[in-house]
Structure 1
Amino acid sequence: MDNDALQLRLRDALFADLDQMEGARLYVLVDTVLHDPLAGVPAREKAVTLPISYAGIPSDRRPYLAPLGDIGRDLSLDESLSVAIEQALREEDRREFGRSVCGWVASHATTEILAKRLAERSVMSVTYQRRLFRYWDPRILDLLSWALTSEQRENFFSCVSAWWWLGRDASLRKVIGLESDSLCSSQVVLDDEQLQVMMLAESTNRTLDVLQDMDHASCTSELQQRVARAVRKAVETWELDTQEEQMRYALFGVLIGSEFDAHPLVRGAMLNAKEERRSPLSALDSFTDDWWTSLKVELQGAQLVRDGG
């Protein structure tokens, strides 16, 4: 399906959902940290910047909400869909490490109140320090969609009627909110495991970028969780503290098998490298491609036995 046909299908699906929310207004949420791809569209003139209370983000680099008009009289929606598709699919000339067009939000609240509510979610406490939480990026929303409990999800998205964004395959993802201030708190408290997923989200997403560019089905929550677990294991088991090392370890975990480093030869080589104050990953270069292929088949067979296949 070409991008024009995909854009039309997404627009129809979005408005089919919106039709069930009588009186709700539709907005596009844009993050200008990279650039502002909608600077020239009509909706930009009525946009409201999220009043984020965080000194580390300049006022001209804060995300904004722009109200969208009716189809046929406001081309802002079509332009936002076009840019979002290109960024989600990581087309070769548009590959970036983030997304500018984050998604679309429906709400009955005024633009100012909605912007205030969304801004309240943007700061989290980590070891008693305030940290910026760029949850509006679809790459983070993908992780949140399975990392949060149902109760946390209801709380986190309670200020909106619905939130839509594009997955890595340009499919429309959504969360239907309750739009009830009774559940709305300034922050959603994450447990240690959820916090670790968010803190390592950049390594997880950069790994998914590589897999996506290799034509793997990187849009599935199952693969996202496998990568997130592998990145966490890279940190906790092997103390790999650079993003490059975390990504490389996670790629081995996905492409060979999650237990690749449990094989005696691999584990021994990695431990020896660590004792010699070298990166454990440097030991992996001594194994041939044929050997890795054989290990992959062996691990897949073991997985089938465990799964009862």
Structure 2
Amino acid sequence: MIVELDHRLFLAQDYAIINPMQVGREAYSDLSPLRLQPKGLERHEHILPLLVDLKSLEAAHRIELLERTLSWAQRHHMPLFSALFSSEHTYAQVFSELLRRTVLQREGGQRVWLRYYDPRVFRHLQWLLDDEQLATLMGSAQTWLGFDPLCRRWHQWTRPNAAKGLYLRLDSEQWQAVSHLEALNRCLRDLAEMGQESGDDIAKRVLEGLLVARRQGLAHFSDAALFALQQLEYGPEFALFPAVALRLQRAREQGISYSSACRGLSNDDLACRSGVA
């Protein structure tokens, strides 16, 4: 749900998360945040998220902070706060539960850093995860706010009314999707810059295109992105178009990029969905 971050909504938020990869220390030096640093990630200290206890601030400070947040959004692509949320739990309790979400364990014991606090990731987790997983991800957070840099608006999500576990666990298909989120967001940014839609329905279709591209052996981002955006335009059977199948084959057998193989590909070629191109 798109919302306006006004005084009433901002003052209802208990905690905030800052991404130090996007925000300089001078912007939050007066907030005394705690770093969400799981054991084993000490060498990444400078890029790990920071938790701010908004409840502990005086009302005047919080109002000034809202003005700072809105001013920051006018001058920067990414927000001052990656997330804002409400919770009845204490600062220590919230810190502990967020710390458990920062690094997840995959099949085989591999530890993976999940950037759930990045709104460009959190928005996709809303449709990648089921209600129980979302409830576990959000923990004690009743609502969660994130800024979409593509539409320049704040979104609010509500925790599902479902049982939540102590640890968030993803299945193999979800992990595969998560591994493509960076590429997905780059594709959505390209669509937005062209004035096209970049909402959840489009995101799901672009992700499917990226996954098909990977199955077709397109490992380089530029090739996978080209294929995914082509499939978005022409439909889920795109890889079966004769002209496309031929170019996919050339890319595999000749060791050239798919982008190079597509040079000279015309709309007339793509209009032919059977036969030989």
TM over 0.5: yes
2:153 is matched with 171
Q: Which runs of 5+ in 2 are unaligned?
A: none
Question: What do the CA deviations read for 1:174-215 (whole angstroms, capped 9, x no partner)?
Answer: 2323799x8341x31111221111011111111111111111
The 3 A distance-change label for structure 1 pair 45 and 131 is same
| Secondary structure at the counterpart of residue 45 of structure 1 | coil
Aligned partner of 1:30: which letter?
I
- Measure, in 1, the Cα distance between the counterparts of 2:9 and 2:39: 31
Aligned partner of 2:152: which letter?
A
CA displacement at 1:64 relative to structure 2? 0.9
1:224 is matched with 203
Find the partner of 2:86 among 89, 106, 110: 106
Matched, 1:77 2:54: no
Alpha carbons 2:17, 2:81 under 8 Å: kept: yes
1:307 is matched with none
Matched, 1:55 2:15: no
CA displacement at 1:141 relative to structure 2? 0.5
The 3 A distance-change label for structure 1 pair 82 and 165 is farther
- Could you say what the CA RMSD is over the residues aligned between the two structures, in angstroms? 3.0
Q: How does 1:202-213 map to 2 (within 5 A)?
A: 202-213=182-193
1:129 is matched with 110
| Secondary structure at the counterpart of residue 126 of structure 2 | helix
My pick for the range that moved more, 168-177 or 201-210, is: 168-177
Aligned length: 267
| Secondary structure at the counterpart of residue 194 of structure 1 | helix
Aligned partner of 2:98: which letter?
L
Question: What do the CA deviations read for 1:36-69 (whole angstroms, capped 9, x no partner)?
Answer: 2x63457x43322223234265223221122334
Q: How does 1:179-198 map to 2 (within 5 A)?
A: 183-185=164-166, 187-198=167-178
| Secondary structure at the counterpart of residue 26 of structure 2 | coil
CA displacement at 1:100 relative to structure 2? 5.8
Find the partner of 2:235 among 250, 257, 262: 257
Aligned partner of 2:19: which letter?
D
- Measure, in 1, the Cα distance between the counterparts of 2:190 and 2:182: 12
1:304 is matched with none
Question: Normalized against structure 2, the TM-score is what?
Answer: 0.83
My pick for the range that moved more, 256-265 or 115-124, is: 256-265
- Measure, in 1, the Cα distance between the counterparts of 2:140 and 2:93: 9
CA displacement at 1:253 relative to structure 2? 1.8
Alpha carbons 2:69, 2:79 under 8 Å: kept: no
| Secondary structure at the counterpart of residue 14 of structure 2 | strand
Alpha carbons 1:29, 1:66 under 8 Å: kept: yes
| Secondary structure at the counterpart of residue 215 of structure 1 | coil
Question: Normalized against structure 1, the TM-score is what?
Answer: 0.75
CA displacement at 1:99 relative to structure 2? 6.1
2:180 is matched with 200
- Measure, in 1, the Cα distance between the counterparts of 2:101 and 2:137: 8
CA displacement at 1:117 relative to structure 2? 1.0
Q: How does 1:285-304 map to 2 (within 5 A)?
A: 285-288=263-266, 290-291=267-268, 295=271
| Secondary structure at the counterpart of residue 224 of structure 2 | helix
Aligned partner of 1:27: which letter?
Y
Q: Which runs of 5+ in 1 are unaligned?
A: 1-5, 19-24, 88-93, 300-309
Aligned partner of 2:268: which letter?
W
The 3 A distance-change label for structure 1 pair 48 and 285 is same
My pick for the range that moved more, 259-268 or 197-206, is: 259-268
1:32 is matched with 20
CA displacement at 1:34 relative to structure 2? 3.6
The 3 A distance-change label for structure 1 pair 272 and 60 is closer
My pick for the range that moved more, 100-109 or 47-56, is: 47-56
Alpha carbons 2:17, 2:51 under 8 Å: kept: yes
| Secondary structure at the counterpart of residue 172 of structure 1 | strand
Alpha carbons 1:154, 1:177 under 8 Å: kept: yes
